[in-house]
Structure 1
Amino acid sequence: MCILLSTTEHPDYPFILLSNRDEYFTRPTQAAHFRSFDGTMKILSPLDMARPEHGTWIGVTTSGKVAVLVNYREIDHAHSLSEVSRGILPLDYLCTNKSADKWHRTLESSLSHVTRGKVELSQIGGFSLVYGQLSIDPKTGKLNHLNILSNRGDHGKIHASAKDNSNEEREEKEEADEEEEDDDEEDDLHGDISNKTTFGLSNSLYYEPWKKVKLGEELLHELVEKSKEMKLSQEALVSECFKLLSHNTYDKEVAKQKDFSKKITELRNSIYIPPLETYISPSARLLTAGKYYGTRTQTILLLDRFGYLNYYEKNIHNSDDVDDDNIVFNHYRFNIDQQ
Structure 2
Amino acid sequence: MEQTAPTRPGTKIGPKYFLFNLLNGVAIGIVAGLIPNAILGEILKALVPFHPVFTQLLHVTTAIQFAVPCLIGALVAYRLKFTPLGIAVVSAASFMGSGAVVLKGHTWVITGIGDLINTMFAAALASLMILFIGERFGSLNLIILPTFVAVLTGYIALHTLPYVKLVTSAIGHMVNSFTELQPIPMCILISLVYASIVISPISTAALSMAIGIEGLAAGSASIGIAAVEAVLTVGTLGVNRLGVPMTIFLGGVKMMLPNLVRHPIIFLPITTTAAVTGFVASLIGIGGTKESAGFGIIGLVGPINAFRFLGNGNFMIKTVLVALAFFVVPFITAIIAHFIYSKVLKLYDKEIFRFID
Q: TM-score range by the shorter chain?
A: under 0.3
Higher helix share: 2
Higher strand share: 1
Q: TM-score, normalised by structure 1?
A: 0.28
Q: Which has the larger radius of gyration?
A: 2
Q: TM-score, normalised by structure 2?
A: 0.27
